[in-house]
Amino acid sequence: MRIEDRGLKVERRIFTVSELTEDIKVLLENSFPEVWVEGELSNFSQSQSGHIYFSLKDAGSSLRCVFFRGLNQGLKFSLKDGLHCLAYGRLIVYAPSGQYQLNVQKLEPKGAGALQLAFEQLKEKLAKEGLFEAAHKRALPVFPLRIGLVTSPAGAAIRDILNILRRRAPFVKIILNPVKVQGSGAAGEIAQAIVEFNQYKEVDVLIVGRGGGSLEDLWAFNEEIVARAIYNSKIPVISAVGHEIDWTIADLVSDLRAPTPSAAAELVVKQKEDLSLELGHLLQSMNASVNNKLKILSKELFSLKGAYVLKYPLNFIQIYLQRIDELQHRLTLETKHLLEASRHRFVHLTEKLNVLSPLNVLSRGYSITFKLPEMKVVTDMEEINISDKIQTRLKQGSFVSEVLSKMSNQ
C-alpha cells in the first residue's frame, strides 16, 4: 500500500501482531543474550510442576522472571518476597502475551552467599520448632560398650577415631556404617545410616561426622534430612564435623557437639588411667562417708547406753502399768458419774410427765367425757345434743350413757 506525502510516494508496511512481536523478540534476544539483573523479589509463586515465577523490582521498574524446575533443583536457600537477589539468565519475549521476561538460569542472594543464607534460614526454622532445645538432649552413657560410627570409611576422621578408641578403651566394640560425607546424595546416606542404627538397636551411642573442609564440603551436615534424623534418634548422638571453628546444623541438634572427630572419641570413652583415678576418688569418698556415719552412730550408741530406759527397763514398764491402772480407775468413776446423772434426769422427767398426764387428773376423782362415735373430748355442753351417746372415762374403767338433758353452770 502506498500513500502520497508532499509529492513523494512512501511505502506503508502493516505488521500483524505476531510479526511485530517476532521482530521485537529477535531484536531483544540478540541484543541481550545473557545478563545479570539485581532486584527485590516480589509476587513469588511456585507451580505444581516445580517452575518458579516471580518479579524482580527496584524503585522504578519491575521485570517478570521464570525459573524452570530443571534449573532450580540445586537452589540451596528459600525464596520469599522481599529477598534481594542477583539473577542470571536470558531475556526473551513471551509471544502469547507480548511481554518480555527473564528466563533465570542462576539465582544468588545479594550480600550473604547462598549457602550461608540457606544455613541461617534452616537454623531459624528448626529453632522455632524446638529442635535445638536442651530439654530434648539425651545424656551419654557413662560406660558405652558398643559405639556406632556414621562417617566415610576412607577419610582421616575414621582413622583418628579408631586410634583413640583402641588406645583408651580396647574393650569397646565399634560398628561402622560407611557413608558419603560430601557431594550429591551424602545427606540422604547420613540420615539413612542414623535410622538404620536405631533399627539395629545394638549400639549405646553414635558418632556422626567427618574431617574439616569448606562450607560446601561440610554442607551435607547442614541438610534438614540429617537434622531430623539426629533429632528423632533414640540413641544419643555426638556430632563431630570439621574443625573447632566449624559449626553445622547437625552440631546444634545433636546431644553433644565435639569440636573434632578426635575430640568425639575422647569424650565418648574414658582412659583406663582416668577411670582408675576416678574410682580411687570414689573409694576415698565412700570410706570417708562410712567412717563419718560410724562416728555418728557410735555417739548415738554411747548416748543410748546411759539412757534410763536401758538401765532400768522393768521400772519403765511398771510406770506404764501403773498409768494404765490410773486411767482404768478414772474411767470407772467417770462411767458411774454419767450413769447417776442420767438416772436423776430420768426420774425428774418421769415426775414431770406424771404431773402433766391426764391420767393423774383422773386419780383425783375427775373424769373425761367423749362424744360417740368420733371419740371427741367434750369440753362444752354445746358440743352435745339430747339423745347423743357419750363415753365417760374414770380412773378405773369407763361407761357409756345417753344425754337426757343439758344444764348450764349458771
Whichever domain contains 71, its CATH number is 2.40.50.140
Do both 36 and 162 map to the same domain? Answer: no
Please report whether residue 192 resides in a domain.
Answer: yes
Give dist(CA 200, CA 215) in Å, integer. Answer: 32
* Mean per-residue pLDDT of the chain: 83
- State the pLDDT confidence band at 112, using cuts at 50, 70 and 90: low
What pLDDT, in 10s, does the model give residues 14-59?
Answer: 878 887 877 777 777 777 778 888 888 888 888 888 899 998 888 8
Number of domains in the chain: 3
Please report whether residue 293 resides in a domain.
Answer: no
* pTM, to two decimals: 0.49
Q: Which pLDDT belongs to residue 206?
A: 94
Do both 125 and 99 map to the same domain? Answer: no
Least confident of 2-16, 86-100, 358-372: 2-16
Do both 80 and 133 map to the same domain? Answer: no
**Pair 152, 176: CB distance under 8 Å:** no
Do both 35 and 168 map to the same domain? Answer: no
Please report whether residue 305 resides in a domain.
Answer: no
Cis peptide before 313 (omega within 30 of 0): no
What pLDDT, in 10s, does the model give residues 314-367?
Answer: 776 777 888 888 889 899 999 999 999 998 898 888 878 777 776 666 666 678
Q: Which pLDDT belongs to residue 1?
A: 47
Q: Which pLDDT belongs to residue 225?
A: 93
- Which of 270, 293, 317 delimits the end of a domain? 270
pLDDT at 86 over 80: yes
**403 or 203: whose pLDDT is higher?**
203
Give dist(CA 217, CA 104) in Å, integer. Answer: 26
Do both 156 and 23 map to the same domain? Answer: no
**Pair 110, 38: CB distance under 8 Å:** yes
Q: Which three cell numbers stand for residue 153?
A: 570409611
> Averaged over 114-118, what is the pLDDT?
71
**3 or 387: whose pLDDT is higher?**
387
- Which of 207, 235, 270 delimits the end of a domain? 270
CATH number of the domain residue 212 falls in: 3.40.50.2300
Q: Which pLDDT belongs to residue 194?
A: 95
Give dist(CA 238, CA 261) in Å, integer. Answer: 9
Please report whether residue 285 resides in a domain.
Answer: no
205-210, strands of its sheet edge to edge: 173-178, 146-151, 205-210, 237-241, 256-257
Give the Cα-Cα-Cα angle 373, 378, 381 (nearest 5 degrees).
115
pLDDT at 226 over 90: yes
Please report whether residue 297 resides in a domain.
Answer: no
pLDDT at 304 over 80: no
| Parent domain of 101 | 2-111
Sorted by sequence, the CB contacts under 8 Å of residue 113 that are 6+ apart come out as 215
What pLDDT, in 10s, does the model give residues 228-287?
Answer: 999 999 999 999 987 777 788 899 999 999 988 888 988 888 755 666 677 778 888 898
Do both 248 and 370 map to the same domain? Answer: no
Do both 92 and 164 map to the same domain? Answer: no
Do both 156 and 98 map to the same domain? Answer: no
Give the Cα-Cα-Cα angle 299, 305, 308 (nearest 5 degrees).
125
> Averaged over 60-69, what is the pLDDT?
87
> Averaged over 290-298, what is the pLDDT?
87
Least confident of 12-16, 225-229, 280-284, 400-404: 12-16
Q: Which pLDDT belongs to residue 47?
A: 87
SS3 per residue for 319-350? HHHHHHHHHHHHHHHHHHHHHHHHHHHHHHHH
- Which of 111, 145, 165 delimits the end of a domain? 111
What pLDDT, in 10s, does the model give residues 166-182?
Answer: 888 888 999 999 999 98
Q: What does the DSSP 8-state code read for residue 273?
A: H
Do both 98 and 172 map to the same domain? Answer: no
Give dist(CA 334, CA 402) in Å, integer. Answer: 61
Residues in the chain: 410
**Pair 41, 80: CB distance under 8 Å:** yes
What pLDDT, in 10s, does the model give residues 129-155?
Answer: 888 898 889 988 888 999 999 999 988
